[in-house]
């Protein structure tokens, strides 16, 4: 900075100074990038405020808590309780993580550590290609193929393990939470897998050798050296996947059953925040309260995503503090 004010006066060493013109590109770059970064944040804040304003009507009608925690969404009766949607979103997302993340991490471990080098590249591309399938195609496939195939299995499971909580149901409907969770699991698999793979690839060789040199088997090495090191990145990957699962609309709309009342079984029909918006935005145009309710659903979805993300990050930070030095494997989202 001082050099800028008196650039040429450093006692016969003019080459140490720099003309203001030559500093310009740096400054433009810095300002430009700062502006873009600020714009992103501003956009986020704008969305939040706009959604909040537009949804005021329904909050005045139902109360904020009433809107979020009432278990009935009945447009005909002008009752807007989003609990079935919120819980439906959480259930399907949780199921998706439950089914999807272990498979994704397993595939990532296989690709980085066990896969023969020759097929690694092509296999990686195939897994990545899962992300290229449009979500509506997953929905269609699930509706016409997965649902009929799985229905007997679900019924058997529900009957056999009826004593478990949230399992029993008299007659399993075709579209339900479980199917939606399964479809979401397939959809979040490629992204969770891709990031986990990158993170696992950063596990230092000396850490792996520490395990192998100790006489641990490959699986024990993966458990002892690789997964703990990559944990933070894997959680980050799961959060990205979760973001996809929470917000996914079309595929879920097709296979969730559109039941506006909270079911009592994972095999029951349900609804999610995103699905209700996709289904009803058209008819809501003429009804200000309905429209405001849908926007409020969007706001809740927004807040839910932020909340889940923050909780997950906190959980990772806490577990890291307990285990001492933070494991910097990147990939934290």
- The residues binding another protein (CB under 8 A) are 117, 204, 206-217, 220, 224-225, 228-229, 231, 323-325, 327
Report the residue number, 254 or 329, with the smaller CB distance to another protein: 329
Return the number of the residue (57 or 212) whose C-beta is nearest another protein: 212
Q: How far is the CB of 118 from another protein (least distance, A)?
A: 12
Spell out a b/e string for 10-41, using b for 16 or more CB atoms within 10 Å of the CB, else e: eeeeeeeeeeeeeeeeeeeeeeeeeeeeeeee
Q: What is the CA radius of gyration of the chain?
A: 26
Q: How far is the CB of 310 from another protein (least distance, A)?
A: 23
Nearest residue (CB) to another protein, 79 versus 227: 227
**For another protein, which is the closer residue by CB, 220 or 283?**
220
Closest CA to 92 of 272, 292, 313, 250: 272
| Cα-based angle 276, 286, 278 (whole degrees, multiple of 5) | 20
State the minimum distance, in angstroms, from the CB of residue 116 to another protein.
11
User: 168 or 210: whose CB is closer to another protein?
Assistant: 210
In the complex, the smallest distance separating the C-beta of residue 204 from another protein, rounded to whole angstroms, is 8
Note whether 73 and 276 are within 8 A (CB). Answer: yes
Long-range contacts of 76-80 (CB under 8 A, 24+ apart): 78/289, 78/290, 80/289, 80/290, 80/293, 80/296
Q: Which residues in the chain belong to E strands, given as ranges?
A: 73-74, 79-80
Residue closer to another protein by CB (options 294, 329) is: 329
CA dist 273 to 94, 108, 180, 305, Å? 15, 31, 13, 12
CB of 220 to another protein, least distance (A): 5
Supply the minimum distance, in Å, between the C-beta of residue 263 and another protein: 40
């Amino acid at each position: 900075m001082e050099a800028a004010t008196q650039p040429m006066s450093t006692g016969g060493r003019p080459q140490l100074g720099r003309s203001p013109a030559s500093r310009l590109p740096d400054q433009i770059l810095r300002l430009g990038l700062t502006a873009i970064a600020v714009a992103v944040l501003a956009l986020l804040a704008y969305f939040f405020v706009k959604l909040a304003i537009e949804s005021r009507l329904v909050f005045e009608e139902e109360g904020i808590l009433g809107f979020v925690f009432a278990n009935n969404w009945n447009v005909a009766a002008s009752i807007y309780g989003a609990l079935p949607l919120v819980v439906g979103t959480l259930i399907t997302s949780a199921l998706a993580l439950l089914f999807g993340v272990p498979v994704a991490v397993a595939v990532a471990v296989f690709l980085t550590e066990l896969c023969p080098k020759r097929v690694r590249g092509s296999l990686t591309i195939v897994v990545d290609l899962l992300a290229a399938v449009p979500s509506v195609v997953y929905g269609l496939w699930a509706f016409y193929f997965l649902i009929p195939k799985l229905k007997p299995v679900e019924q058997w499971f529900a009957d056999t393990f009826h004593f478990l909580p949230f399992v029993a149901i008299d007659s399993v409907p075709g579209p339900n939470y479980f199917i939606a969770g399964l479809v979401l699991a397939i959809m979040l698999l490629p992204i969770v897998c891709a990031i986990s793979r990158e993170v696992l690839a950063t596990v230092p060789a000396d850490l792996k050798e520490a395990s192998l040199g100790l006489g641990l088997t490959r699986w024990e090495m993966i458990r002892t050296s690789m997964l703990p090191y990559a944990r933070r990145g894997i959680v980050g990957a799961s959060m990205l996947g979760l973001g996809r699962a929470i917000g996914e609309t079309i595929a879920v709309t097709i296979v969730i059953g559109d039941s506006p009342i909270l079911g009592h079984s994972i095999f029951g029909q349900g609804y999610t925040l995103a699905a209700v918006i996709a289904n009803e935005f058209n008819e809501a145009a003429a009804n200000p309260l309905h429209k405001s309710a849908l926007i409020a659903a969007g706001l809740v979805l927004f807040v839910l995503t932020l909340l889940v993300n923050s909780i997950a990050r906190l959980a990772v930070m806490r577990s890291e503090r307990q285990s001492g030095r933070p494991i910097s494997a990147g990939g934290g989202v």
